């Protein structure tokens, strides 16, 4: 079960420093980090990669003998964990700097360099054999898989799972055992990917409805994998307006359960999540599974007045029931609910939870990331149902994000028909999206910051 809260960066760094105090290697690691920081800011990426290769792979020919001697000290300690920590943090020092300067090619080359690192020559040096083994172990570890996520967004040949790197990055920036450079890089990359998707979705929505869209190739292509159904899906999501909009329902639920007992809150939560869900099979499956789990959840607190901590923990548990409870594999309920109909229904349930407990958003994204990691071993053709769910999830949460506002407007020639949204067609309505701080987003896009 993933933790409910996040420590501050300062607290995290303090914990990591305390854990590593006394290793005696901090001084030598610092020498290496200082060297890499200096050359990555001053030298071309080709030269930096050459120095990195000479330092970590060959341990010879490095221009900075102090850094090379420092690495020798770490190797001679025969501590694979500290060698890996040093290598990993060094990678993220370079990645952060290259990402800031938009040198995406260098990031790819660094990760490729590690993946192809081989010391084939026979050697009588035990230390060189040791490093060879350590490098092999690193390339076959989760640490290297985490690194590959940073290159995947620039690689059109990446496996399908890497198209959803936003979710794969979240566990990296909440893991307190990761170096601060990795956490900062993952957090910044995830935010940039979200912003780019929201911008691209809004631009596509606007351009695809223009009169010439059917006869010309759009400058702003569809940012999803849903094809021609995208506009209809967006309209279906946006059409949920008025007194029964998701935001209004969440606000009503929050007010009605403000001073009630935790037992009453749990009973009300299930009703709130299922309100207006038309799919009877989905409702039955949900009630049979979630209601039973909620009934016994935190039973010792049932007579207490609901508070933010209990609300957060409860919404996190429901998210886990609906996705993954062990952060490794999906729950049976996840597959069962998706098999009962439109994945939009499950996405809306998750959205309702986040509208009630916004601080559960990170936890939800961690769970989604775990699902992607579980299914990424399967071919894309076998995962179309999951990919459709992920696409709908991204679209729904982009539409309900704070800095994007979508509105559905009936075109003048259809107004006054009295039909409202009943029986509406694509021709009758247009989607209008407005990005708050739009000028800033457009400037960022033009400058390549959302690439």
Range of the domain at 246: 224-401
CA–CA separation, 234 and 200 (whole Å): 14
CA–CA separation, 125 and 275 (whole Å): 69
pLDDT of residue 403: 63
> Is 70 exceeded by the pLDDT of residue 335?
yes
List the alpha helices (DSSP H) in 45-154: 45-52, 65-76, 80-100, 104-115, 126-139, 142-152
* Bridge partner list, 408: 431
pLDDT digits (tens, 9 = 90+) for 104-131: 899 999 999 998 876 555 555 777 788 8
Whether residues 25 and 126 fall in one domain: yes
Tracing tokens 């986040």 back to the chain, one arrives at 354
Whether residues 133 and 262 fall in one domain: no
Give the mean pLDDT of 94-109.
90
For Cα atoms 85, 164, 344, give the angle at the middle one, nearest 5 degrees.
140
pLDDT of residue 220: 62
* Complete DSSP assignment for 59-84: -S--S-HHHHHHHHHHHHTT-HHHHH
CB–CB of 24/84 below 8 Å? no
Does a structural domain hold residue 269?
yes
> Is 80 exceeded by the pLDDT of residue 406?
no
pLDDT of residue 209: 62
What SS3 class is residue 266?
Answer: helix
CA–CA separation, 330 and 317 (whole Å): 14
Whether residues 324 and 285 fall in one domain: yes
pLDDT of residue 402: 54
pLDDT digits (tens, 9 = 90+) for 46-76: 999 999 999 999 888 888 999 999 999 999 9
Whether residues 392 and 302 fall in one domain: yes
Query: How many domains does the chain fold into?
Result: 2
pLDDT of residue 89: 95
**Mean pLDDT lowest among 38-42, 224-228, 447-451:** 447-451
CA–CA separation, 151 and 158 (whole Å): 9
pLDDT digits (tens, 9 = 90+) for 312-324: 999 999 999 999 9
CA–CA separation, 13 and 7 (whole Å): 10
> Is 80 exceeded by the pLDDT of residue 200?
yes
Does a structural domain hold residue 28?
yes
What SS3 class is residue 405?
Answer: strand
| C-alpha dist (Å) from residue 48 to 57, 257, 355, 371 | 13, 58, 46, 36
Whether residues 139 and 273 fall in one domain: no
Q: Higher-confidence residue: 232 or 32?
A: 32
Q: Which of 70, 110, 113 is nearest to 94 (CA)?
A: 110
Tell me, letter by letter, the H, E, C secondary structure of 194-243: HHHHHHHHHHHHHHHCCCCCCCCCCCCCCCCCCHHHHHHHHHHHHCCCHH
Give the mean pLDDT of 406-416.
55
Whether residues 188 and 239 fall in one domain: no
Q: Which of 148, 93, 237, 166 is nearest to 390 (CA)?
A: 166
Looking at 369, 386, 401, the residue that finishes a domain is: 401
DSSP E strands in 253-319: the ranges are none
Whether residues 189 and 267 fall in one domain: no
CA–CA separation, 49 and 111 (whole Å): 10
pLDDT of residue 124: 58
pLDDT of residue 417: 46
> Is 50 exceeded by the pLDDT of residue 407?
yes
pLDDT of residue 185: 92
CB–CB of 21/52 below 8 Å? no
Does a structural domain hold residue 106?
yes
Does a structural domain hold residue 424?
no
**Mean pLDDT lowest among 22-31, 116-125, 229-238, 260-269:** 116-125
Whether residues 176 and 121 fall in one domain: yes
pLDDT of residue 219: 58
Whether residues 135 and 233 fall in one domain: no
pLDDT of residue 16: 41
> Is 50 exceeded by the pLDDT of residue 393?
yes
CA–CA separation, 295 and 290 (whole Å): 8
CB–CB of 236/399 below 8 Å? no
**Mean pLDDT lowest among 132-141, 244-253, 364-373, 442-451:** 442-451
Does a structural domain hold residue 446?
no
Does a structural domain hold residue 406?
no
Whether residues 160 and 235 fall in one domain: no
DSSP 306: P
> Is 60 exceeded by the pLDDT of residue 32?
yes
Give the mean pLDDT of 6-22.
40
Q: How confident is the model at residue 440 (pLDDT cuts 50, 70, 90)?
A: very low
Does a structural domain hold residue 47?
yes
Does a structural domain hold residue 447?
no
Q: How confident is the model at residue 439 (pLDDT cuts 50, 70, 90)?
A: very low
Looking at 357, 385, 401, the residue that finishes a domain is: 401
CA–CA separation, 431 and 398 (whole Å): 14
Give the mean pLDDT of 16-42.
78
Q: How confident is the model at residue 355 (pLDDT cuts 50, 70, 90)?
A: very high
pLDDT digits (tens, 9 = 90+) for 257-295: 999 999 999 999 999 999 988 888 888 888 889 988 999
> Is 60 exceeded by the pLDDT of residue 99?
yes
Whether residues 165 and 285 fall in one domain: no
Whether residues 157 and 20 fall in one domain: yes
> Is 60 exceeded by the pLDDT of residue 351?
yes
pLDDT of residue 24: 75
Q: How confident is the model at residue 437 (pLDDT cuts 50, 70, 90)?
A: low
Give the mean pLDDT of 165-169.
93
């Amino acid at each position: 079960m993933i933790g409910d809260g996040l420590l501050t960066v300062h607290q995290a760094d303090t914990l990591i420093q305390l854990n590593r105090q006394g290793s005696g290697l901090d001084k030598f690691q610092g020498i290496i980090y200082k060297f890499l920081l200096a050359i990555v800011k001053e030298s071309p990426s080709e030269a930096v990669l050459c120095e990195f290769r000479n330092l970590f792979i060959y341990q010879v020919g490095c221009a900075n003998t102090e850094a090379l001697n420092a690495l020798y000290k770490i190797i001679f300690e025969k501590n694979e964990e500290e060698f890996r920590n040093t290598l990993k943090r060094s990678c993220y020092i370079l990645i952060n700097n290259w990402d800031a300067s938009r040198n995406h090619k260098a990031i790819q080359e660094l990760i490729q360099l590690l993946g192809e690192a081989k010391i084939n020559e026979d050697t009588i040096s035990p230390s060189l054999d040791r490093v060879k083994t350590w490098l092999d172990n690193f390339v076959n570890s989760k640490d290297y898989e985490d690194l590959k996520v940073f290159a995947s967004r620039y690689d059109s040949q990446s496996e399908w799972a890497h198209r959803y790197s936003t979710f794969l990055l979240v566990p990296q920036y909440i893991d307190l055992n990761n170096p601060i450079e990795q956490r900062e890089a993952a957090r910044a990359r995830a935010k940039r990917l979200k912003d780019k998707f929201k911008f691209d979705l809004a631009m596509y929505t606007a351009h695809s409805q223009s009169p010439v869209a059917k006869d010309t190739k759009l400058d702003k292509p569809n940012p999803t994998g849903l094809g021609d159904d995208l506009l209809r899906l967006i309209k279906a999501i946006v059409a949920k307006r008025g007194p029964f909009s998701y935001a209004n329902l969440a606000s009503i639920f929050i007010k009605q359960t403000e001073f009630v007992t935790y037992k009453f809150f749990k009973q009300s939560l299930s009703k709130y999540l299922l309100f207006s869900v038309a799919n009877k099979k989905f409702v039955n499956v949900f009630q049979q599974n979630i209601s039973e789990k909620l009934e016994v959840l935190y039973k010792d607190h049932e007579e207490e007045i609901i508070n933010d901590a209990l609300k957060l923990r409860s919404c996190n548990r429901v998210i886990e029931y609906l996705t993954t409870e062990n952060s490794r594999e999906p729950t049976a309920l996840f597959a069962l609910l998706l098999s009962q109909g439109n994945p939009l229904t499950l996405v809306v349930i998750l959205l309702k939870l986040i509208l009630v407990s916004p601080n559960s958003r990170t936890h939800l994204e961690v769970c989604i990331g775990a699902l992607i990691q579980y299914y990424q071993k399967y071919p894309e053709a076998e995962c179309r149902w999951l990919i459709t769910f992920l696409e709908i999830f991204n679209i729904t949460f982009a539409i309900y994000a704070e800095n994007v506002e979508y509105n559905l407007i009936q075109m003048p020639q259809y107004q006054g028909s009295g039909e409202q949204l009943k029986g509406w067609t694509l021709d009758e309505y247009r989607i209008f999206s407005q990005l708050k701080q739009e000028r800033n987003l457009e400037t960022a896009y033009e400058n390549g910051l959302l690439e």
